[in-house]
Amino acid sequence: MRRIRLVIRGVVQGVGFRYSMQHIARGAGATGWVRNVTNGTVEAEVQGDAAAVETVLDWAAKGPRGGVVDGVSMTEMPTTPDESGFEIRRDA
């Protein structure tokens, strides 16, 4: 099990980034959340088996059509128990 926190920079708001990430994460079997941040970035925490987390990380480096990812910062996090689903949170 692995959990990461991502901060994605670029043209990542207003392009369906959160909804697309939610779709990719759910399809990969990952749990966690994603949200817009007032500074123009997107922040997410993703948890799952190594393959699920890697699938989301690989997608985040490219983003959805219409988006432009300039960079992704990743931090390893401790895993959390009993988390289910992948939600879109309110802007931070």
Catalytic residues: 18, 36
* 43: three-class secondary structure by DSSP: strand
Give me the helices (H) in the chain, please: 17-28, 50-60
| Ordered DSSP codes for 68-87 | EEEEEEEEEE---TT--SEE
